[in-house]
Chains A and B, each alone.
Chain A
Amino acid sequence: MIYSVVGHYSLILGLCIGLILVYFSIQNFRNFNQLDNKILSFSFLQLFFVVVSFLALVISFITSDFSNETVFNNSHTTKPLFYKISGTWGNHEGSLLLWLLVLTLFIFIFLLRTKNQPIKYKILTLVFQQVIIIGFFLFLILTSNPFNYLFPVPNEGLGLNPILQDPALAIHPPILYLGYVGSSIIFSSALAATSLKMVSTNWAIHIKKWVLISWIFLTLGILLGSIWAYYELGWGGFWFWDPVENVSLMPWLALTTLLHCILVLERKETLTSWVIILSIATFTLSMCGTFLVRSGILNSVHTFANDPERGLFILIFLFTLIFLSLLIFFVFHKPGQNNQANFFWLSKETSILINNWFMMYFLSVVLIGTVYPIFLDVISSQKISVGPPFYHKLIIPFLIPFLLMMAIGPKLKWIKSDLKDKIYLFSLLVISVLISFFIVKNFNANVLVNTILISAALYLFFITLRDFFIKKYKNLAQNIAHFGFSLLILSILFNNLFSSEIITNLKVGETYNGSKTKIVFESINQKKQKNYNSIIANFSITNSEGINNNLSPELRIYNQPKITTSEADIKTTLMKDKFIVINLVQNQDYFNVRYQVKPFMLWIWLSVMIISLGGLISLLKKRT
């Protein structure tokens, strides 16, 4: 009770400080010799109040204070402590408070850590960031207050959706948000730099750190969500082109492109328009993601509430931001004369530019696939959905030149280059084609497409691998990230080609006899846990080589709310995952059994980690 009051008033105080900060900043802007100490103190105070507010919510969750509406809707006394805490951001109101927390934290760190940049620039960045922060404060207080008071106080809460009660999903939102919200700093400072006409090499070096930090967190956040979907949703895969996944992929694509543009800008004053537009796009797409996910337009786990008022607020806020930023871009940005015209066709920056266009294309495909159904629903109220074939058909063919460019691009020099080491570049290509042809032929897959695709990925794989051992540490970060990407594509390809699946309905004691696999449903055990009943099924699975595995998938029947979830049992080895999941069919003796053998699953996760490791190395590297 008392915590809710504290939390609520902290939010209002934080909002007031936001307004005070804007006022001081404008004053300081006129007299800019020195950064006003007041600004730093007030930023700290704002951060402090948001932290207090956040902690108040966490404590309300821990103590199961059901006089708080958010706690009542999303918690339950029997829930384990860990999920009581993670439940804080497992709902609409709490997750927005987390957004706000990260927003204020980042601007404070930005003010502290930014040295050697003009005071004007720091102040202006703060102002833009405060506009976003104030927007979020208003959004929280007006439409989704986490501290609404309930009377009479209920005895018991409604509980957290059981599929969210999972360790990966407990840390997925904070990590993802660090990525999303990190892009807000890039957005604010890009606007500030544009207004002051200081989008330059010097600025690129300074902002690169922030780009890298958000990029690493965004990558890891998406990875966590994907791992969770793999073992908890029981769909048997890692990516489903679900709109909710797409909205996290879009900022990632924009941010990756931005990162590459920044790398160019670091060396040569060009691509400035790209950098500004992409900075705006990344943050806008992150906001769009929040809007689409939160407003209830997309059907998914993340849809916490169907409240049109909230959707409208975010939409208006979003359009204001886009309008503001485009205005600043068109008024202040005058691209230098030595822009695009100066590109020599064979150089590192040209190859980066080409791949940027590819990434923009991928981004548009994902955007169209995600937004088109919503659009059509609004104008003709026709309900449609866009499935994976759409994305596969449009993205896969273009991956081939993209991969080749990724392999050759880094070999080129800046500004003007010729192709050296032609012999080994060519011989590696031949080797890749031969190997992939051999693999594909051996497994009777669709020859042409797969051969070319695998060749392209293998080519990148070999080149990065060779560079790793030969050109020691020249550009380790790029090398490792690109290597990770080739590994990712290879793993996905092999995973797609060589996965096998058996779906059947079995009663306890029955046996499924397939051509290659024998599945024996041996027994079930029931157990009572703290907030759910568990049914553990025991399967003995024998494959054609006579290797026997015992797998025990589980069904959890939660009591509050009454939901059944299935916990897949996965035997992970270096080369393949064996995955089994069961479902109960209502009022029937049959269990619905899905058994999959998925090669290289582990490598998909590992390769994404390698990609983000590349980012980390680049972040830690001292500039020489």
Chain B
Amino acid sequence: MYGRKVKLRFLFISLILITLILTVFLVLKSLEENVVYFQSPSEIKTLTELDKSKIRVGGMVKKNSINVNSDEVNFIITDFKNEINVSYSGAVPNLFAEEKGVVAEGFLKDRNFFSATKILAKHDENYMPPEVKKALEEK
């Protein structure tokens, strides 16, 4: 019916299509799995169920809340409406300080307690991560 060449070309095109679809599927799936959502302390309070996946929490470090011992840094993140306790064992960025904006990445233990795996660096004293700005604007 069809020539060898046409058949070959058809095979080739369908192969490319299948690969393309597979790749898109793979990328989307992996995107879904590895996306980290940002939440403010107030949003966490209203969560109906606790997600096991990694999230980011942002806000201000509450005054007089930093407490350091030999293997942990504990502090409170506040958006001036609600707050959440954070415990963290890892490297602290230079500009981590009380009454400054902060973003912590990690896992929720419950609605009041967050175990951070990373604290994000700010690069500039005037600079505030957009997420924090947003959380603070909403207060």
Residues from chain B with a CB closer than 8 A to the CB of A372 are 31
- Tell me whether A564 and B124 are in contact (CB under 8 A): no
**In this assembly, does B11 line the interface, its C-beta being within 8 Å of a C-beta of chain A?**
no
Residue numbers in A under 8 Å from B23 (CB-CB): 361
Residues of chain A with a CB closer than 8 A to B89's CB: 503
B73 adjacent to A387 (CB under 8 Å): no
Q: How many Å lie between the Cα of A361 and that of B24 in the bound state? A: 10
- What is the minimal beta-carbon distance from A532 to any residue of chain B, in angstroms? 13
One digit per residue, 1 when the CB lies within 8 angstroms of any chain A CB and 0 when it does not, for chain B 59-83 equals: 0000000101111110000000000
Chain A residues, CB < 8 A from B127: 299, 303
Is the Cβ of B30 less than 8 Å from the Cβ of A394? yes
Which residue of chain B lies nearest to A565 when distances are taken between CB atoms in the complex?
B94
Is residue A383 contacting chain B, with contact meaning CB distance below 8 A? yes
* A383-B69 in contact (CB<8A): no
Assembled-state Cα–Cα distance A592/B54 (Å): 24
* B123 nearest in chain A by CB position: A301
Contact A393 B30 (CB under 8 A): yes
Q: A361-B23, A394-B26 are in contact. Are A592 and B92 (CB under 8 A)?
A: yes
| Chain A CB within 8 A of B109 CB | no
B44 within 8 A of A: no
Contact A583 B96 (CB under 8 A): yes
- Contact among B31, B38, B72, B93 with A383 in the assembled complex (CB-CB below 8 Å): B38
Given contacts A394-B26, A583-B94, A383 and B130 within 8 Å (CB-CB): yes
Which residues of the other chain, A, contact B30 by a CB distance below 8 angstroms?
390, 393-394
B97-138 interface bits toward A, Cβ cutoff 8 Å, 1 = contact, 0 = none: 110000000000000000000000101111101110010000
Interchain residue pairs A-B with the least CB separation, the first 3: A383-B38, A390-B34, A594-B91
Scan A507-521; emit 1 where CB is below 8 A from any B CB, else 0.
Answer: 000101000000000
B74 → chain A, closest Cβ, in Å? 11
B-contact bits for A488-510, CB 8 A (1 contact / 0 none): 00000000000000011110001
Within 8 A of B (CB), among A569-592: 581, 583-588, 590, 592
Q: Mark A residues whose CB is within 8 Å of B.
A: 161, 163, 233-236, 299-301, 303, 361, 364-365, 368-369, 372, 382-387, 389-390, 393-394, 503-506, 510, 512, 561-566, 581, 583-588, 590, 592, 594
- Cβ A368 vs Cβ B27 within 8 A: yes
In the complex, which residues of chain A have a beta carbon less than 8 angstroms from the beta carbon of B97?
A: 586
Q: Can you name 14 A-B residue pairings with CB atoms under 8 Å?
A: A161-B123, A234-B93, A299-B130, A301-B124, A369-B31, A383-B38, A384-B36, A386-B34, A387-B54, A390-B34, A561-B124, A585-B73, A590-B70, A592-B73
A386 in contact with B35 (CB, 8 Å)? yes
Chain B residues, CB < 8 A from A233: 121
Give the distance in Å from the alpha carbon of A236 to the alpha carbon of B118 in the complex. 13
The answer to whether B68 touches A590, judged by C-beta atoms less than 8 angstroms apart, is yes
Given A561-B125, A563-B125: A387 and B36 interface contact (C-beta under 8 Å): yes
Judging by beta carbons under 8 Å apart, are A563 and B91 in contact?
no
* CB < 8 Å neighbour of A394 from B27, B54, B69, B134: B27
B93 and A583 contacting across the interface, CB-CB below 8 Å: yes
Total A-B Cβ pairs within 8 A: 114
Q: Which chain B positions have C-beta within 8 A of A387? A: 34, 36, 54
Q: Which residues of chain A have C-beta atoms less than 8 A from B94's C-beta?
A: 234, 563-566, 583-584
CB of B78, distance to nearest CB on chain A (Å): 16
- Name the distance in Å between B38's Cβ and chain A's nearest Cβ: 4
Q: How far is the CA of A590 from the CA of B71 in the complex (A)?
A: 10
Q: Is the CB of A587 within 8 A of B66?
A: yes
Shortest B47–chain A CB gap in Å is 15
Contact of B68 among A389, A562, A585 (CB under 8 A): A585
Contact A585 B69 (CB under 8 A): no
Nearest-neighbour CB distance to chain A for B36, whole angstroms, equals 5
- The reply to whether B91 and A586 form a contact with Cβ atoms under 8 Å apart is no
Which residues from chain A contact B36 at a C-beta distance below 8 Å?
384-387
* A563 and B124 contact, Cβ closer than 8 Å, known pairs A588-B68, A592-B73: yes
Q: Which residue of B lies closest to A586 (CB)?
A: B97
Extra contacts besides A505-B68, A590-B70 (10): CB < 8 Å = A233-B121, A364-B27, A365-B27, A369-B31, A382-B37, A383-B56, A393-B30, A506-B70, A585-B96, A592-B68
Q: B98, A503: Cβ atoms under 8 Å?
A: no
| Minimum C-beta distance from B132 to chain A (A) | 10
Question: Which residues from A are CB-within-8-Å of B130?
Answer: 299, 383
Which residues 28-55 of B have a CB within 8 angstroms of A? 30-31, 33-38, 54
A505→B91 contact, CB < 8 A: no
Known contacts: A564-B94, A565-B94. The answer to whether A588 contacts B129 by CB under 8 A is: no
Q: Which residue of B lies closest to A381 (CB)?
A: B134
B73 touches A389 (CB 8 A): no
CB distance from B60 to the nearest CB of A (A): 13
CB-CB nearest in chain B for A592: B92
Complex Cα spacing A236 to B92, Å: 12
- The contact of B90 among A163, A503, A585, by CB within 8 Å, is A503
Docked CA distance A186–B5 (Å): 37
Q: A384 with B38: in contact, given A161-B123, A583-B96, A587-B98 (CB under 8 Å)?
A: yes
Q: Please report the C-alpha to C-alpha distance between residue A443 and residue B95 in the assembled complex, in whole angstroms.
A: 37
A383: which B residues are within 8 A, CB to CB?
37-38, 56, 130-131, 134
- How far apart sit A219 and B96, CA to CA, in the bound complex (Å)? 33
Q: Smallest CB-CB separation from B128: which chain A residue?
A: A299
Per the bound structure, the CA–CA distance linking A383 and B138 in Å amounts to: 14
| Cα(A229)–Cα(B68), bound, Å | 27
Please tell me if the beta carbons of A583 and B91 are within 8 angstroms of each other in the complex: yes
Chain A residue nearest in CB terms to B98: A586
Partner of A564, one of B95, B98, B126: B95
Chain A hits for B125, CB < 8 A = 561-563
CB of A568 to closest CB in B, whole Å: 11
Q: Which residues of B contact A512 (CB under 8 A)?
A: 70
Which residue, A386, A506, A512, has most C-beta atoms of chain B within 10 A?
A386
With the chains together, A563 CA to B73 CA distance in Å?
A: 21
Residues in chain A near residue B71, CB distance under 8 A:
504-505
Cβ–Cβ contact A389 & B31, under 8 A: no
Interface contact B66-A588, CB-CB below 8 Å: yes
A218 to B66, CA, bound (A): 43
Determine the chain B residues whose CB is within 8 A of the CB of A565 once the complex forms.
94
Q: Contact check, B70 vs A505: say whether CB atoms are below 8 A apart.
A: yes
Q: Are A163 and B34 in contact (CB under 8 A)?
A: no
Chain A: CB-nearest residue to B61: A586
A369 to B123, CA, bound (A): 22
